Structure 1
Amino acid sequence: MTTNLTTVPAGRQAGGHHTHGRRIVAALAITTTIGYGSLYYAYAVLLRPIAATLGVSATAVTGALTASVLAGALMAIPVGRWLDHHGGRALMTVGSITATVLLIAWSQVQTVWQLFAVMIGIGVTGAMVLYEPAFAVIVTWFTPERRAPALLAVTIVAGFASTIFMPLTGFLDAHLGWRSTLLVMAAIYGVVTVPLHALTIRKPPARPGALPVPPGRLNNRQRASVARAAMRDTRFWILAGTFTAHGAATSTMTVHILGYLASRGHPATFAASIAGLLGVLSVTGRLVLTVARRRLAVTTIVAAVFATQAVAVLAMPALAGTPIGAIITVTGFGLGFGIASLATPALLADRYGTAAYATIAGRLTAPITTAKAAAPLVAATVLAHDGYNVLLGVVACACFLAAGGMMIKRGSGTHTGGRQVGQPV
């Protein structure tokens, strides 16, 4: 009799848990796609129209985007701590409301300093509504066997954000102007994301037979202990260095690939089309990781992809002068373009569990995002003094360094909560 009383509610809870989990995945796939499309990718399309209207250089307007990315990096740690303590519902709802207001404010800027202020605000809200909080919600909601497909679903859909929103932004700008375009973006973002975050996101219920102490029942001191233990784990800092090097490499190539292809004599339209493959290839890389991890370790797969990127970059001086060679080398690099965003939550959850996942992820995200913001500016200096071949060599070295870092296996004697940091949960 006792068995029946405990088993039936557990089954009902599990069924409801899985059903709502699918709703969460669908909601986050939609909100992150619209978020990246309107808060990030639209900027590249509107950069020059904004510069012309404000009467400033494109470099100055680009600086506002850099400030936005850096603001998001600074917010990663406090946002992660909040997510572990309170969950994602309130944070993502407030973030989406604030982002909607900031999109409206962006449409009304009259000076470059107002643009900087708005973009810094967008960087802060981006840290509250984009991949990092979405991943934190998914990691704590799903069991390990269901986590990978859930993360893949969100990243596959959001991987098409640039494919959807860059043409849409260009179309709206051509017909409405950039200010009205941003008002349309604000309406789309607010109407869709605010209710999805408010009505869908919630903390997971305790699952029968899950962790001995479910993450939601740990107090703040216990979570802080888990996070501190992870910070004492050598492998965390190896992982941070690995993804920082890779983030710098991908950010550099994203910004400078068009200029490089043009320098090799390719027409601007061809160069733009080839560069546009990066968004689609990021989805391909994530699919490769998800399928291959059934037979190989995540670290092995990611290291192989990073090494492939390095080889592709090194081959560019010899091959990228022809259309076929350009397609081959950009494809080789593009396979790793989005793989880090899917590998990171898998590695962190496997090594450190889910109790303090968002706090640990925030501390990892901060240096990576900072590197992504600073690398294109440093690369421009290298480019001005030494040319593209030297720059490509630096990018290839960063990818090889990331591949080597991914393969380092280092044990840790640090313990937390009765288990070794790094043991799978």
Structure 2
Amino acid sequence: MTIVSTERPPVAAIAALGLTQIIGYGTLYYSFSILAPDMARSFDWSAEWVFGALSAALLIGGLAAPLMGTWIDRFGAGRIMTAGSAIAAAALVACAFAPGKIAFVAALIAIETASNLVQYGAAFALLVQIRPRVAQRSITYLTLIAGFASTIFWPITTALHEQMSWQNVYLIFAALNLAVCLPIHAWLSRGVSETRKREAGQAAKHVEPGLQPSMRRPAFVLMVTGFALESFVNAALLVHMVPVMSALGLGAMAVVVGTLFGPSQVLSRLINMIFGERLSQVMLAIICAVLLPTALVILIATAPSVPGALVFAVVFGLGSGLNSIVYGTLPLALFGSDGYGRRQGQIMSVRLVVSSMAPFALAFLMGNLGVSWSLSIAASLSTVAVAAFFAIMRLTSPVARPETVPHPREA
């Protein structure tokens, strides 16, 4: 179901959140892979152990996500994101000054837990709380801006690290979260609070569920299953892109695939922004899910063909880019805006837990079954996700909605 409204998306809020998402993902996630080798040397660890610590941190952060989603509903996403920026800054500082391995891992857990408070899950909820009836478009615009996080922060992190230690880089990133993100989130929080005060006593504006009550529980289970399988495939392939390409005789193509992957993500979001406004969110989820196994089948069938690898990179990037939109918009379309933060926390929890285990699982499969069979299993899992979203489509049916008169809000 697509939500149509005469309201306009809150442009100022989207632009401001786009900046904080670029900083949030860039400092708390994308920078890690560049700094990890130096981190390993600092603590006399192997790189595998450092990435293992990251996996553990992601797992614990995922387990904490449902509670944080409940906080978002109770206290407001703006307040939670404001506190999250402060916690993220403190966690980065703690990591930089960690005297040993235990303190480093504890700080890393704090960083990944804070990520839940400031990244997509919380940002989507904030857009829903600001203007729920145009939140689907707002989420699409936000993901288009935030899609440049890796493009911006990989070179920034590399340039900084050439001049200073990873500890000093983290201190600079802590300052960015504190000096840039925190004031923006506080400003957005005040704006939402003032809007709610102005609307006190008026008919509440919210998005009604697109499912009958009896269909919501099975639809939620199917949706989370589909998202989990997609997260598994995305996380596993992105971590093991170089080994996969090498095993297929395409080792030199790993860099090219990485170059095409990011722009393809942004391209998919741009196409959806321009042409997808009237597209059902369930159909968008199906298209997204179909692209992932299609990309894998192309890679398996054409390897070691270079053109085949390039097509794989584009198709895989398109699917991954749409996925970031769908996991924000589909829950809103199916279940409405009430309790959106709690549901996002539950979805994020499953995604993070699965993502934390996916790299190890794919490495185990490749070591025991070979790369072609492992990719075939990943493609099969993606196909199950397609079936899950088709099942959701069968559950959808029109729901009578009360007439609401939209009132413009200030960003």
Choose which of 36, 40, 46 in structure 2 pairs with 1:47: 36
Residue number in structure 2 paired with 1:261: 245
Residues 295 and 194 from structure 1, CA distance in 2 versus in 1: closer, same or farther, beyond 3 angstroms?
closer
Unaligned stretches of 5+ residues in structure 1: 1-14, 217-228, 421-425
Q: Secondary structure at the match of 2:97?
A: coil
Residues 230 and 171 from structure 1, CA distance in 2 versus in 1: closer, same or farther, beyond 3 angstroms?
farther
Residues 211 and 120 from structure 1, CA distance in 2 versus in 1: closer, same or farther, beyond 3 angstroms?
farther
Residue number in structure 1 paired with 2:55: 66
Residues of 1 paired with 2:356 and 2:373: CA distance?
20
Contact kept? 1:23, 1:200, Cα under 8 Å: no
Q: How does 1:378-393 map to 2 (within 5 A)?
A: 378-393=361-376
Residues 381 and 84 from structure 1, CA distance in 2 versus in 1: closer, same or farther, beyond 3 angstroms?
same
Shift of 1:95: 1.0
Residues 362 and 381 from structure 1, CA distance in 2 versus in 1: closer, same or farther, beyond 3 angstroms?
same
- State yes or no: 1:288 paired with 2:271: yes
Contact kept? 2:268, 2:318, Cα under 8 Å: yes
Residue number in structure 2 paired with 1:317: 300
Shift of 1:141: 1.5
Unaligned stretches of 5+ residues in structure 2: 1-5, 208-212, 403-411
Question: Aligned letter for 1:243?
Answer: F
- State yes or no: 1:251 paired with 2:235: yes
Q: Secondary structure at the match of 2:79?
A: helix
Choose which of 150, 175, 196 in structure 2 pairs with 1:162: 150
Residue number in structure 2 paired with 1:118: 107
Q: Secondary structure at the match of 1:336?
A: helix
Percent of pairs with identical residues: 27
Choose which of 12, 30, 37 in structure 1 pairs with 2:19: 30
Residue number in structure 2 paired with 1:172: 160
Question: Aligned letter for 1:402?
Answer: A
Q: CA RMSD in A?
A: 2.8
Residues of 2 paired with 1:298 and 1:81: CA distance?
24
Residues of 2 paired with 1:309 and 1:123: CA distance?
26
Q: Secondary structure at the match of 1:335?
A: helix
Shift of 1:325: 2.0
Choose which of 271, 280, 304 in structure 1 pairs with 2:287: 304
Residues of 1 paired with 2:215 and 2:178: CA distance?
37
Q: Secondary structure at the match of 2:162?
A: helix
Question: Aligned letter for 2:329?
Answer: A
Q: How does 1:368-387 map to 2 (within 5 A)?
A: 368-387=351-370
Could you say which structure has the larger radius of gyration?
1
Residue number in structure 2 paired with 1:220: none
Residues of 2 paired with 1:75 and 1:122: CA distance?
12
Residue number in structure 1 paired with 2:219: 235
Choose which of 308, 312, 323 in structure 2 pairs with 1:340: 323
Residue number in structure 1 paired with 2:91: 102
Deviating more after overlay: 292-301 vs 126-135? 292-301
Residues 196 and 213 from structure 1, CA distance in 2 versus in 1: closer, same or farther, beyond 3 angstroms?
closer
Residue number in structure 2 paired with 1:11: none
Residues of 1 paired with 2:154 and 2:215: CA distance?
39
Question: Aligned letter for 1:179?
Answer: Q
TM-score where L is the length of structure 2: 0.86
